[in-house]
Amino acid sequence: MLDVLKNQRTYALIGHGGCGKTSVAEMLLYVAGAVPKLGKIEDGNTALDYEPEEIKRRGSVQPGFATFQWNKNRHFLIDTPGDLSFNGDLGYILAAVDAVIFVVDAVDGVKPLTRKLWQEVSKFRLPTIFLITKMDRDRADYDMALSGIKNQLGVKPFLQNIPIGKADSFSGVVNIVENKAYAFDATGKVSEIAIPADMKDEVEGMRETMMEEIAVCDETLMERYLEDPESVSLDDLVAATRKAVVCGELYPVMVASGLKCMGGQRILDAAQLFFPSPLDTPVGEKTVDGEDESLLTVTPSGPPACFVFKTMFDQFAGQLSVMRVLSGTIAQDAALLNTRSDARERFGSILYLNGAQNQQVKEPVGPGAIIAVAKLKETKTGDTLCDEKKPFTMLKPKLPEPMISYAMAPAEKGDEDKAYQAMAKLLDEDVTLRLTRNEETGDMLISGMGQSHVEALVEKAKRRFKVGVVLKAPTIPYRETVRGKAEVQGRHKKQTGGRGQFGDCWIRMEGKARGEGYEFVDAIVGGSIPRQYIPAVDKGVQEAAARGVLAGYPMVDFRVELFDGSFHTVDSSEMAFKIAGSVAFKAACEKLKIVLLEPIALVSVSIPDSFMGDVIGDLSSRRGKVLGSDSTGGVTEVQAHVPMSEMQEYAKTLGSMTGGQGAFTMGFDHYEDAPPPVAEKVIAEHKKAKEE
């Protein structure tokens, strides 16, 4: 098995939405013979975008998995979504691969989202090949895309291939390492040709630079190169390049046209030559980090362990747990321990995934393999399955918090349980979604990475579970607070024959600074209220505060001091003093100024420099306060405080304003006084809803 693993490759295709990843994946599968014909996104027949939501949107909404043989070596490929709404679990995928093909569009170049994706990839220090795609398009600009990789991503590119021609004339590449030229045909086949005469001088100069870049990464090779450049063979260069790529010292750059099937063979050859095997590391043996800071040594002879990084649904097999084999070997009927649920899971068939097609695997699989197992009962995304005699839990990458929330309700009355169950099942497949209930408003909230993310979930629920779900903007979590200070009595007395109810308390109530919360002070002396009834007053105040005064929102940031009162030896009870506390709170609110607070979000927007004015103007029109901006490599990041009520439809606005080139993140930051027009509108809506 060691010989097999030495030549095995596991890698992901990553890049911004629309850069051509799925077309590249289709080309690789076609060139490798894994699919009989080249599918097209426009025709809805690519191997890895097969879900109806993907065909409709012409873009990936979930990772696509494939495995194939290239020159008799096993390759595992993951095509990741490029839309920020659908790649929130990218960290889990990066934890499951050994390398990355990072795709950059030759027409659009490096976008703000490209930078965000590269920042994520950089955290994992994965060996990377940069692939400039769409070289056949009219506005393809290789130099512009290469400049973006250098200047905006901060990467020093290693020019593995340079294009011959551009746009309609793009016909092949010159491989700088090999010092050879190759022409492409429409079937993906490659033929060696002479280096074009008008490129020879350029290639010669680039080759000298390339030799120096490789030699710098290898001291022994450097010495040989300085003594006698002719003594450095092609095999020496390839070996040194591979070592430097695995170490993250070199980032090869290649070119291709996925749509015209140009460059697939060269990409697969490069992945085979330069990417690491599941056992490779720059120095020493490969290990996996555990939650308890332990290390798992990666070896096929060690105890088995798998990391479940995705859950998917198959119409025939049901729920599939997609996992990477971390160490050891896994065979059919394996029994492994789930370290989270402490359940013993028995595997049935082991599957390789090829888009919508599943292939049963009969032989044992080792480290680096991406496999799927159906119908595991106690296993979820993020779980580690391992040998129960040698338990190990992999350290999970951190997931981003959801960006947007919607209140959801069933389209048909009476389908509440059905809608909730459908959503709960879909959440098993996507760990970046949240389903919660807002206790204040009673809203059932579905939260995701963006509007498209949540809308795709609703479409899937309707298609798969035959339940319609209606989305509406969630209730904004306003708060209320008080200004000033008041001293009041809260008295509750009721006599209905037999034992009555009596509770009497005096409180001082005053507002506090933003964010200081609620404070209850027991200042009773002399036993005017028995100790057992004092918590009841506190509870009565808190329950009344939770219902609000102005618009039904919880009251925050205030202090209540209980300083006096009286009781009855027979009629007093906890309930009586709880009611007295509530009465006192309401009496104090009548004397104090009540203020509505609105939640303010910290918003960070990344856009090309040319859109900065439009974006800042739009944020200002939303009552936003721009905190500052920073421009690097043609991309500006703007930070602002914006009321959450103004950000409900921002994703659509930003997309149309920037032609899809903008990206943003937002999260709750603090509360501020709502302006009078806003407060009046919220209060009026509350009164109307109460009357209805």
Task: Please write down the HEC assignment for all residues of 275-308.
Answer: CCCCCCCCCCCCEEEECCCCEEECCCCCCCEEEE
Q: Say which CATH class 479-591 falls into.
A: alpha beta
DSSP state of 401: P
Nearest one of 395, 573, 594 to 482, comparing CA atoms: 594
Residue appearing with tokens 């991406």: 370
pLDDT computed for residue 439 by the predictor: 67
pLDDT computed for residue 465 by the predictor: 85
pLDDT computed for residue 626 by the predictor: 95
Name the token pair of 18: 């629309």
Residue appearing with tokens 């065909």: 55
Find out whether 231 and 224 touch, Cβ atoms under 8 Å: yes
Percent of the chain with pLDDT over 90: 52
d(CA 608, CA 593): 46
* Helix (DSSP H) and strand (DSSP E) numbers for the chain: 17, 34
Measured from the Cβ of residue 200, the count of other Cβ atoms closer than 10 Å reads 13
Question: What ranges do the domains of the chain cover?
Answer: 2-199+245-274, 292-386, 407-472, 479-591, 596-687
pLDDT computed for residue 247 by the predictor: 85
Domain 2-199+245-274 sits in which CATH superfamily? P-loop containing nucleotide triphosphate hydrolases (3.40.50.300)
Residue appearing with tokens 């140009």: 262
Q: Which residues of the chain have pLDDT under 70?
A: 188, 282-284, 439-441, 497
pTM for the model stands at 0.80
Nearest one of 104, 91, 77, 87 to 15, comparing CA atoms: 104
For the chain, the maximum distance between any two Cα atoms, rounded to a whole number of angstroms, is 112
Find out whether 512 and 519 touch, Cβ atoms under 8 Å: yes
- 629-641 in b/e form (b: 16+ CB < 10 A) is beeeebbbbbebb
d(CA 67, CA 75): 6
pLDDT computed for residue 612 by the predictor: 92
Candidates 3.30.70.240, 3.40.190.10, 3.40.50.800, 3.40.50.300; correct CATH number of 596-687? Answer: 3.30.70.240
CATH number of 292-386: 2.40.30.10
Name the token pair of 605: 């927007």
Residue type present at position 444: M
Q: Would 407-472 and 596-687 be classified into the same CATH topology?
A: yes
Which architecture characterizes domain 407-472 according to CATH? 2-Layer Sandwich (3.30)
639: which strand partners? 604, 628
d(CA 267, CA 248): 18
pLDDT computed for residue 113 by the predictor: 83
Find out whether 326 and 296 touch, Cβ atoms under 8 Å: yes
